[in-house]
A and B are shown apart, each in its own frame.
Chain A
Amino acid sequence: MRLGMFFREALRSIRANAAISVAATVTALIAVFILGAFIPSFMYVRSAVSAQTSKVDVDVYISDTASVKQVNVLRDKIGTLKTDGQVAEFTYVSKDDALRLMRERLRDPSVLDQLPSNPLPAKFNIQPTDPANANAIVAAVKDDAALDPTEGIVYPQTTADRLLTAAKFVQWAGFALIGILLVAAVLLIGNTIRLSIFARRREVEVMRLVGATNWFIRWPFMIEGVICGLVGAVVAVAMLWGIKVGVVDAWASGADTALTKTGSAGEAIAFPLLTVVLVGAGALLGAVGSGITLRRFLRI
């Protein structure tokens, strides 16, 4: 019942201050739109980077002269790393397997027929659980007797390091940007609502003087903020949906499919989830913005 009254008060206030309400709504719209464009981009880049990092694998080449026993010792070593949780997956690639793989990869496999014997060493292909573990894995196996003296261990160290740095950067930059965006949006909406309250500070003063508690005054303003935030968010989501369907999806389906096939494409956020997040953000922006702003005016 009270809520109904506060809601009516909020609607009255929106009607009485139409221009300011529109300004607050547009502010929320812009903030949510930017947020809504940024979040999927950020998620996409982040997942693309981590897709790359997951392909950082370690090849441990085995000497042709290594005995079966020595190879089993090495296998056990890697198996221990797996039980420790450093290694996600590892496979043994025999000399024959290696040759077959090479044959598949070459444009003209017939060159391999010229070879007198199979020059390719056998290897363990190790997928680290995290690219950051690669160094530890290398350290654990690098002095093993079964290792091939010339090939040894091969893993794309610089690529791994760069990708790791990139992933961290993308992550922190993304969070920082989202944080800045949210703060800016709260301040913007707060400022707009401050206009509304400033225009009505005499009114708030009178309400206080006839015995209204701070919450009695605050509720309608907060509901007003939430309504503006929600309307702005819904319009922003509609615009984002239009852009997604009309531009992004169209581009993605027309784009080089090889890109996605090779797995270098990242996953963006699902649109329904994004909608929920953005509408929630809009409502929260409105409530927090007006809540913060009101405090200054309720001190009479």
Chain B
Amino acid sequence: MARIDDDIHDADSTQRAFTLVEVPPETVPADLAVVTPPSGEKRRRGDVFRPGPGPMVQFQGVIKRYDGDVRGLDGVSVSIAAGEFVFLVGQSGSGKSTFIRLCIRELRATSGHVIIGGRDLGELRRSKVPYLRRAIGCVFQDFRLLPDRTASENVAYALQVTGHSRQEVNRRVPEILALVGLDGKGDRLPRELSGGEQQRVSIARALVNQPRLLIADEPTGNLDPDTSQGIMDLLTRINRTGTTVLVATHDRDTVDRMQQRVIALHKGRIVRDAEGGYNEDPGDTGEIA
């Protein structure tokens, strides 16, 4: 399937894919120093969220009900070890975004425990939530870019939040934008970028702090297959540096090609959790119509 898609693509998107996949080696050193490593930052003790040993993500009987008794998640128990690469699949409305939003405590579980890096988010004080979020890079399904800021400024904001100096911001932002194939577009506002380009700004922002856990909600939803492939390659390389990667997606081709652990959700419940493709059993409820 992917082959055919490749063949019908026009020169422009091939060009884009090229810049994305084959970034010049001087921009990206071999062993994925994705961006310049953070220099010694002065932080108060206790302000950094450090994942402990044990699973990176753990759900224990998590139920999330929205208003009006809508079940976002209906009793999910799962464990994702540090360093894993996991796909979260399921049809629209199956609870993928709910799962992700629970991980960054954008939502709180109605019951059960969401444990990230050994820390129960139900017990995390509100004032500590920002530090949790800095340790997690999150690509949002709807991008969540700051509308009045350029692509560069959006990425820079994530660095400013973690207390990086202006020089460091100025150095790292172009690097990371080049990495996602957006060099030269740093001065554009989100509304001046295509959907796929906005998505890549969102990815760049998630990567820029070198998170221990990278969560991406439909990171390739608006991208053509070549660019999707480029993003997936990037995520794989980030995963190889030890970062745990969790990707929610509809993208059957990508999941099939990657042959990683797949957690399938259906109506808020886990219906399959195995290595392999998107849907090995054609009668599986995890399928998209």
Chain A residues near B (Cβ < 8 Å)? 1, 5, 12, 16, 202-203, 205-214, 216, 299-300
Contacts and interface: CB of A to CB of B under 8 A. Distances in A.
A212 B161 contact: yes
A56 B129 CA distance: 67
Contact of A209 (B127, B140, B209): B140
A209 B133 CA distance: 7
Nearest to A15: B148
Interface residues of B, number: 26
Contacts of B104: 209
Interface in B136-154: 138, 140, 144-148
A202 B145 CA distance: 9
Contacts, number: 54
B158 A210 contact: yes
B146 A203 contact: yes
B106 interface: yes
Contact of A206 (B134, B145, B162): B145
Contact of A211 (B126, B144, B158): B158
Interface string B227-241: 000000000000000
A206 B146 contact: yes
A211 B131 contact: yes
B83 interface: no
Question: 4 tightest CB-CB pairs across the interface, nearest first?
Answer: A211-B134, A211-B133, A213-B130, A212-B161
Nearest to A12: B148
A210 B133 contact: yes
Interface string B150-174: 0000000110111001100000000
Contacts of A213: 127, 130, 161
Nearest to A17: B148
Contacts of B130: 208, 211-214, 216
Nearest to A203: B146
A205 B133 CA distance: 13
Contacts of A205: 144
A203 B162 CA distance: 18
Contact of B144 (A1, A5, A12, A206): A206
A209 B144 contact: yes
Given A1-B165, A300-B106, A210 B147 contact: no
B148 A211 contact: no
Contacts of A212: 130, 157, 161
Contacts of B113: none
B114 to A, nearest CB: 16
Given A210-B133, A211-B134, A213-B130, 18 more contacts: A202-B147, A206-B144, A206-B146, A207-B146, A208-B130, A208-B133, A209-B104, A209-B133, A210-B134, A210-B157, A210-B205, A211-B131, A211-B158, A211-B162, A212-B157, A213-B127, A213-B161, A299-B126
Nearest to B163: A2
A251 to B, nearest CB: 50
Contacts of A202: 147
B145 A210 contact: no
Nearest to B135: A211
A284 B283 CA distance: 66
Contacts of A203: 146-148
B116 to A, nearest CB: 14
Contacts of A208: 129-130, 133
Interface in B21-76: none
A214 B127 CA distance: 8
Which of the listed residues A203, A206, A299 has the most CB atoms from chain B within 10 Å of its own CB? A206
Contact of A16 (B129, B133, B148): B148
A154 B133 CA distance: 81
